[in-house]
Structure 1
Amino acid sequence: MKSTAELLGYGPNDRLLIINADDFGLCHSSNKGIQKLLEGGIVSSATIMMPCAWAREAAVWSASHTLLDVGVHFTLTSEWDVMKWGPVYRGGSTESLVTGEGYFHRDSKSFERRADTEQVKQELIAQVEMALHMGVNVTHADNHMGSLYGLQTGRHFLTEVFDVCAGYRLPFRLPRFLQLESGAPAPPELALQALKHAAEADRRGVAVLDYLVALPFHAKPGETYAQFKSQMISLLKRLKPGVSELIIHPALVTDELTAFHSEPLKRGMEMDIFRDKEVQDAMHYEGIKQIGWKELRHYQRRNSRP
Structure 2
Amino acid sequence: MSLAQALGYKESDRLLLVNADDYGLNHSVNIAAQALLESGDISSATLMTPCAWAREAALWSAERPNLDVGIHFTFTSEWGPYKWGPVTTNADVSSLVTKEGYFHADSKSFEEHADGEQVKIELINQVERAIALGMQPSHADNHMGSLYGLQTGKHFMSQVLDVCAAYGLPFRLPRFVTTEPGQVAPPHVEEQARQVAALADSKGVVILDYLVGLPFRLEENETYDGFKSSMKALLSGLQPGVTELIIHPSVANEELNVFHLEPAKRVMEYDIFRDEEIKRHLKDEGVIMIRWSDLRKLQQERAGQGQ
TM-score category, normalised to shorter length:
over 0.9
Report if the CA contact (8 A) 1:16-1:243 is conserved: yes
| Cα shift readout 1:236-294 (whole Å, capped 9, x = no counterpart) | 00000000000000000110000000000000000000111111111000000000100
Which residue number corresponds to residue 204 of structure 1?
203
Q: Can you give the 5+ residue segments of structure 2 that lack an aligned partner in the other structure? A: none
The alpha-carbon deviation at position 178 of structure 1 amounts to 0.9
Q: Can you give the 5+ residue segments of structure 1 that lack an aligned partner in the other structure? A: none
Which residue number corresponds to residue 128 of structure 1?
127
Report if the CA contact (8 A) 2:178-2:187 is conserved: no
Report if the CA contact (8 A) 2:185-2:211 is conserved: no
Letter of the structure 2 residue corresponding to residue 265 of structure 1: A
- TM-score of the superposition, structure 2-length normalised? 0.97
Report if the CA contact (8 A) 2:21-2:72 is conserved: yes
Which residue number corresponds to residue 214 of structure 2?
215
Distance 1:184 1:290, change over 3 A: closer
Which residue number corresponds to residue 5 of structure 2?
6
Which residue number corresponds to residue 168 of structure 1?
167
Residues of 2 paired with 1:206 and 1:120: CA distance?
A: 19
Aligned length: 305
| Cα shift readout 1:17-49 (whole Å, capped 9, x = no counterpart) | 000000000000000111000000011000000
Distance 1:185 1:111, change over 3 A: closer
Matches within 5 A, 1:128-167: 128-167=127-166
Residues of 1 paired with 2:282 and 2:270: CA distance?
A: 17
Tell me how large the CA RMSD over aligned residues is: 1.5
Identity %: 59
Residues of 2 paired with 1:64 and 1:97: CA distance?
A: 32
Report if the CA contact (8 A) 2:184-2:212 is conserved: no
| Cα shift readout 1:191-228 (whole Å, capped 9, x = no counterpart) | 23212211110110000000000000111122100000
Report if the CA contact (8 A) 2:50-2:74 is conserved: yes
The alpha-carbon deviation at position 93 of structure 1 amounts to 1.0
Residues of 1 paired with 2:66 and 2:163: CA distance?
A: 23
Runs of 4+ in 1 over 4 A off after TM superposition: 183-189
Which residue number corresponds to residue 249 of structure 2?
250
Residues of 2 paired with 1:187 and 1:78: CA distance?
A: 22
1:13 aligned counterpart, secondary structure: coil
Matches within 5 A, 1:1-306: 2-180=1-179, 182=181, 190-306=189-305
2:5 aligned counterpart, secondary structure: helix
Report if the CA contact (8 A) 2:182-2:214 is conserved: no
The alpha-carbon deviation at position 305 of structure 1 amounts to 4.3
The alpha-carbon deviation at position 182 of structure 1 amounts to 1.4
The alpha-carbon deviation at position 189 of structure 1 amounts to 5.7
| Cα shift readout 1:139-177 (whole Å, capped 9, x = no counterpart) | 000000000000000000000001100100100000000
Distance 1:83 1:184, change over 3 A: closer
- TM-score of the superposition, structure 1-length normalised? 0.97
Distance 1:230 1:72, change over 3 A: same
